[in-house]
Amino acid sequence: MTTTNSKSGPPSHIASILRTISMNLNVNESCERLIADLEAASQLHKRGKAYKTLCQITNCDRTVVSWKFNEWDYGKSSIQLPVNARGLFILEDAKPPRIAARGYDKFFNVGEVPFTSWDWLSANTVGPYDVTVKENGCIIFVSGLEDGTLLICSKHSTGARDDTDRNHSIAGEKFLAKQLQEHNIDSRALGLELYDMNATVVAEYCDDTFEEHILEYSEDAAGLYVHGININSRKFETLPISDVTTFADKYGFKKVNYFTKHDIYSLRKFLEQSALVGSYENKEIEGFVIRTRLQDGSPFFFKFKFEEPYLMYRQWREATKRYIETKSRVFSFKKHRFITNKYLDFVIPLLDADEQLRDDYMKDLAIIRLRKLFLLDYGLSGLEILNSEKIKELERENAIDYNTVDSNTKFMFFPIATIGCGKTTTALTLQNLYPTQWGHVQNDDISGRDKAMLMKKSLDILAQDGVKAVIVDRNNHQFRERKQLFEWFAELKEKYMPYDCNVKIIALSFLPYEDVEETSKLTITRVLARGDRHQSIKAEKDGEKKVLGIMRGFINRYQPLDVNKEPDNLFDYVVTLRVLERDSSRSNVQTILHALKAKYPILVPEMPSQERITSAFEKSLQYEPTITKIIGGGNKSDTKGKKLKPIYFSAEIMDRRSFLQVIRDTSSQISTVGSSPISEAEEAGRVLRNLHITLCHWASCKKGTKGEKDIWCEFNKRYIKLLKQTSSHSEESPKHLKTKDKVKFRLTRLLWDDKIITATVNLLDDGIIDGDTGDAIPRLACTNEFPHVTLALLKSEVNPFYSNTLCKYMNEHHGLLQGTFEDGTGCLELKHGPEMTADICINL
């Protein structure tokens, strides 16, 4: 084997660049200070915290320490990290200490952060702008030790690992060995030259036989694409891309395509025109990385990612993995719903028939093969699909034949009424007739500020197997209320139900215009006669005068159904009812059933007997509300208000179903760490009904630091008015108060052992958000070291507080790194999850 002459060192122009950089850097001194700063950051509780992992170098008895930070800590002006490198390895035993491998400083997409806006870039960067094609693989770092040993790392690890069956650094090392052998180069030559340069090669490993991403790499195209050479220093310094390609040629690496734009205006024009077609030189790519410098000469990188066709292909991948895991086609993608479902129509039979195909797909293999098979069958390329006017129109129609009514069709009923029309009695009678097939959700039974909860609960019931219809029990006496229901339905439907499940929405018009005056007299009589048997209208307690005021307010605001204008023209069918006759609810049930049998026999194939209807009606008359809903001011002299004392403040997950779906969605890579614990917990009924982030607890703060005690006081000061108002208006002390304020968060990790499953979260926007202004509320924060949501208790004797213990244990023993461990614990990073919102609540 021929050996490259390592003593010759790097080419003269590169050596000149390295000498210039070295004049400005005291590498050893800088590294000592860096380690001290990293160690200090490792003691932080959350923001800016550093994490370190000890790694054994392959084929060598030496070790390196890998340092990393939370992804969301980069780029925040309020957080000063010791170093902004994504990927940093320091030799543990070197004297003086030495950085062994270094990645780029974290860089961002155009518009992702304030300092990548076009205005900022125009004002703060100088040309030329080197534009490199963004390859679609995994990062591999290559550097050398003093004896020529090669150090090959993935972004945060090197050497053997027990927590995964797919080791990126080992795969990269094997490919590099093959590459050097093919070019007849001794690996020590590469290692010694990189050591002499004090540099790290940064490459993208693209190899579909090892791991498929989104874009395809044929066998000839597979390889290590070198796109950077960084100096191993604390301050980010990197060689020009022209020198990087020269180095790549010398050692047989693949090169990234690059070109230069000399001013920001021509650069922006080129990038935005390329984004319109989603390709470069007739090849689908992910986007570009732009390398330039700031006014002070410091290197500065940013990226410009194409939305398409990358987004569409990624959706197909995610939808496929979700189907393999759950057998569900429910998804909440806002774009490409038609073509994604056409794709699923094609691939699901293939997946169902081939277990090996399913296994390969979950290991990130066969992704591209399935996509190509679909495109071949469909007869269009990805870019042709994106540019097809016909498909754009089909996307707008959402790919559902709304005229079809079959066994998959479901039904939703919106009453249009005022108080006392008998809508609840009618709804209860229908549910009594079909207890397993019809659902009923009463607006008066819903507390809290989330008005959309009425629709969320209705869709949650309608989505259940065997349920055919649900009655959304609210007066809906104005056009705006009916419009609101239709808007909620359009927004939420696909979060609960399959895309191809057609839902017919039917109006139950209890009060036609011509009956308003006469009916109002009857309904007032009925409400007064029933006394306190209603969630919010308490005739006996509140008195006739107040009840008459409420009733007349509803009647004065009443807007009868008008199918000639929006939103009433959106109803699929209208059943007109009457409330003037005796036992009108019973007769209205018969009217509804006769109408449905004629229009939708799939829902009511035959009429129930008179005896069944009578029995169901009489049972509905026995209904007693269990919830009291406060409306209006009330009579303060009747209350027994007492001081309310908070036990803890929390951020409540109001939409439990959607939250758990996000857990499943963002856990699509679960196969790398074993079977999903959350799915097993759900099957065992161990997932908690109420999910929340504990922000501040009385018991913890009483024993806590001065800062924690101060935060407890600030929470109490913030909500003192609400506590006083509730105390003066409530006869009984409530257990739970919802405020207007919010917390925005993202899931970060799923942690578990044999006792509990919990999800750690990152609170966004620097804490708690004012519900009225949207601004961060100063001095309010989460006092937990690891903010989290307890998901499931796997043993009955376990307390939810144990989540804190598990979080601390996983941090101390495993650095919160992904994997399943011999002690029975597990950690899964929940990457790329959506931003979510929780409501601040006071628990009493």
Bridge partners, 231 (sequence order): 199
Q: Is the peptide bond before 309 cis (omega within 30 degrees of 0)?
A: yes
* Number of alpha carbons in the 13 Å side-chain half-sphere of residue 348: 14
Locate 14 and state its tokens: 């590169």
Q: How far apart are the first and last CA of the chain?
A: 77
Nearest to 834 by CA among 759, 744, 703: 744
Locate 72 and state its tokens: 């969301």
Contact yes or no for 205/171 (Cβ under 8 A): yes
Given 49, 68, 106, 134, the catalytic residue: 134
Bridge partners, 648 (sequence order): 697, 843
Farthest-apart Cα atoms in the chain, separation? 105
Phi-psi region of 801 (alpha: psi -120 to 50; beta: other; left: phi over 0): alpha
H or E segment to which residue 134 belongs: none
Residue 754 DSSP class = S
DSSP reduced 3-state for 414 = strand
Contact yes or no for 578/571 (Cβ under 8 A): no
Instruction: Catalogue the E-assigned strands of 468-611.
Output: 469-473, 503-509, 573-576
Give the 3-state secondary structure of 643-673. Answer: CCCCCEEEEECCCHHHHHHHHHHHCCCHHHC
Contact yes or no for 199/21 (Cβ under 8 A): no
Output b/e per residue, 500-521; b: 16+ Cβ within 10 A: ebbbbbbbbbbbeeebeeebbe
Nearest to 842 by CA among 568, 669, 649: 649
Q: Is 412 exposed, middle or buried (0-12, 13-18, 19+ CB in 10 A)?
A: buried
Neighbours of 662 (CB within 10 A): 19
CA distance 84 to 729: 54
Locate 451 and state its tokens: 């008005």
Q: Please, what sign has the CA dihedral across residues 735, 441, 419, 565?
A: positive
Q: Which long-range contacts (CB under 8 A, 24 or more apart) does 609-615 make?
A: 612/433, 613/429, 613/433, 613/586, 613/589, 614/586, 615/432
Question: How many H helices and E strands in the chain?
Answer: 27, 28
Is 134 marked active-site? yes
CA distances from 398 to 191, 309, 458, 459, 502 (A): 56, 19, 22, 19, 11
Locate 223 and state its tokens: 């390889």
In the chain, % helix, strand, coil (3-state, to 5) comes to: 40, 20, 40
Phi and psi angles of residue 741, each rounded to the nearest 5 degrees, phi first: -75, 160
Phi and psi angles of residue 631, each rounded to the nearest 5 degrees, phi first: -130, 150
Neighbours of 261 (CB within 10 A): 19
H or E segment to which residue 56 belongs: strand 50-56
Locate 523 and state its tokens: 């309904």
CA distance 803 to 801: 5
CA distance 9 to 4: 10
Q: Do you know the residue count of the chain?
A: 844
Locate 196 and state its tokens: 């002499």
Catalytic residue positions, numbered: 134
